[in-house]
Homo-oligomer: A and B are copies of this chain.
Amino acid sequence: MINMRTKLSGFVTIGVMVTALGGLAWAGEALKEPSLEQRVAELEAYVNNGSRLTEVASKIPGPGPGHNAWLMVCAALVLFMTLPGLALFYGGLVRRKNVLSVLAQCLGIAGLVTILWWAVGYSLVFAPVGSILGGFSFAFLNGVDSAANPDYSGWVSQNVFSMYQMMFAIITPALIVGAVAERIKYAAVLMFVGLWMFVVYFPLAHMVWGADGLMNGVWNAHSKIKAIDFAGGTVVHMSSGWSALVLCLIVGKRLGLGKTAMAPHSMVLCMIGTAILWIGWYGFNAGSALAADGIASNAFVTTTLATAIASVTWAAAEWITRGKPSVLGLCSGVVAGLVTVTPACGFVTSSGAVVIGVFAGLMPFLACVKLKAALGYDDALDTFGVHAVGGTLGLILTGFLATAKANPNLATNLGEIVGRTLWLHQLGAMGITIALAVVGSAVIAFLVKFTVGLRPNVEEETVGLDVVDHGEQGYVLE
């Protein structure tokens, strides 16, 4: 839309400000005008992503354009990871007859989680007060407008922040479907995810990222467990990965597993999905700085290095152990690198990222190739092998590699433990995350099993979920 808003902007921003500062200054009691020096200091605070002045009225009460633009871009990038990134990454790996079911699951989860997030999810995660779960003050995005919420990000609109966080809440349950692909009812997926958000995601996200969360080591001085997780090793990858394992055990193996070929129907789609995941992950990781500042810059670099190195490592492992590096290996390494560096990216240096990349290429490789074969569970698309193993690995490596050189915020509440006992706190967070995911998912899975049911019947599974659950075919190529 065209605007000549210039003349009106004073008005605009004052409108915004009144809303924004409502909690600080009682309506009616106006703050004093700032001095010229204070105005300059606030402009500098914008550039530095520093704290706003609270004792005087602000001349720039809205979001700061550079940071706000960045977070809008990042929110779009994280959505891009799910739609179509993850949908293609997974969709390419299933058989042709089930490709649409994967796309429908990703789309349906995006819609469902949006509604839950709008209604209560955002509030349960980011509203005060509580160390396990937030409150209801932001329900229906009440009061969540274009002003910033200084508890989380000083220069980004809170409504943008809420959408950015929502994109994380969307991709997390979507990761789970990889483990049970090709053999779960559409209704079962939606019911499982709907419950899982309340039982696992919202509490975990609040505990790790909520300003008063139990495990928010960086920002909550009173947190019991001083763990750190920059962009979601626990909340996103461990939670989905461990839940995926439980769910796929309860759902059972695909019909014909081990007897009929279940080769990916399109490695091309899988590779497109991988590339989109990589690009989108910059929004996920560097965006988690919630500003376009130096910490974002650092996260951008560590993400890139760990990912590329994990990709090479995985492919090299294949080349050595079987004589051929595969596209799926290169892609799996990319995803494993991205997953593993996620909790670490804003806390480690580029050298730390290189170390993470090597581990990220090896451990998930072993999990997918050796462990799965040894134990025999049917984690169809390796959600457990990549996300649970990678996320757990990353969480622990972060405990050892995090350094205030990479992120000075680590020196505030955690100065005593970084480089020393931090890894113990990471283990604590690991334990809680796994326990919550495993127990929560098991309970929900049985609930679904005995209500709408988990699996299609044999005939349906043989025909494929696309036709059975959606009445469509992925390709009509005659």
Contact = CB atoms under 8 A, between A and B. Distances in A.
Interface in A244-288: 261, 263-269, 271-272, 274-276, 278-279, 282, 286, 288
A154 to B, nearest CB: 4
Contacts of A338: none
Given A46-B47, A278-B83, A325-B104, A118 B219 contact: no
B295 A146 contact: yes
A111 B330 contact: yes
A13 B7 CA distance: 23
A409 interface: yes
Most buried by B among A3, A41, A59, A308: A3
Contact of A229 (B1, B16, B62, B100): B1
B50 A40 contact: no
Nearest to A95: B476
Tell me which of A2, A16, A63, A154 has the highest count of chain B C-beta atoms within 10 A of its own C-beta: A2
A308 B82 CA distance: 13
Contact of A107 (B40, B231, B309, B327): B327
B107 A334 contact: yes
B64 A65 contact: yes
A61 to B, nearest CB: 8
A315 B475 CA distance: 20
B96 A312 contact: no
Interface stretch (A25-33, A159-167, A368-376, A441-449): A159-167
Interface string A340-356: 00000010001100100
Given A211-B2, A409-B3, A48 B62 contact: yes
Interface stretch (A71-79, A171-179, A383-391, A416-424): A71-79
A473 B298 contact: no
B49 A65 contact: yes
A261 B478 CA distance: 11
A431 interface: no
B326 A114 contact: no
Interface stretch (A195-203, A299-307, A450-458): A299-307
Contacts of A145: 294, 298
A164 to B, nearest CB: 9
Nearest to A96: B477
Contacts of A331: 107
A329 to B, nearest CB: 8
A65 to B, nearest CB: 3
A13 B36 CA distance: 22
A45 interface: yes
A368 to B, nearest CB: 15
Nearest to A110: B308
Contact of A315 (B80, B111, B286): B111
B49 A100 contact: no
A412 B295 CA distance: 35
A220 to B, nearest CB: 9
B150 A6 contact: yes
A186 interface: yes
A45 to B, nearest CB: 7
Interface string A119-142: 000000010000000000000110
A271 B330 contact: no
B144 A312 contact: no
15 contacts: A2-B211, A2-B219, A3-B289, A36-B37, A44-B59, A64-B65, A88-B272, A104-B327, A111-B308, A141-B351, A146-B295, A159-B297, A159-B350, A266-B475, A268-B474
Given A1-B231, A166-B304, A265-B475, 18 more contacts: A1-B235, A3-B290, A5-B49, A9-B49, A16-B294, A40-B40, A69-B69, A75-B282, A103-B271, A103-B327, A111-B330, A146-B295, A159-B350, A160-B301, A163-B304, A266-B475, A267-B473, A325-B470
Q: 8 tightest CB-CB pairs across the interface, nearest first?
A: A65-B66, A146-B294, A6-B51, A9-B50, A157-B297, A114-B308, A69-B292, A111-B312
